[in-house]
Amino acid sequence: MKWTDVRDIAIELEERHPDADNVNLRFTDLHRWVMELPMFEDDPSRSSEKILEAIQMAWIDERS
């Protein structure tokens, strides 16, 4: 999984953190949680605020 796999990341995050407040989430926590996903294999520095926002929005959508 790479940073561009926004939907797949959101699904994994929902499975691993179902009780997280994904609306009021700090991007530092989101970045760390993505990096901790077992299937994630991308450079941590390739992340950006835009990518993290997209992941957050996909995660919110996944939950609803």
Which CATH number do you get for residue 10?
A: 1.10.10.600
Residue type, 21: D
Q: Which residue is it, tokens 């939950």?
A: 63
Report the number of distinct structural domains present in the chain.
1
| 6-64 pLDDT tens trace | 999 999 999 999 999 999 999 999 999 999 999 999 999 999 999 999 999 999 999 98
Q: Is the dihedral of CA 11, 13, 16, 20 positive or negative?
A: negative
Q: pTM of the predicted model, to two decimals?
A: 0.95
Going by the DSSP 8-state scheme, the letter that residue 45 receives in this structure is G
Query: CB neighbours of 55 closer than 8 A, spacing ≥ 6?
Result: 6, 9, 10, 13, 30, 34
Q: In which domain, by residue range, is 18 found? A: 6-63
31 found inside a domain: yes
33 found inside a domain: yes
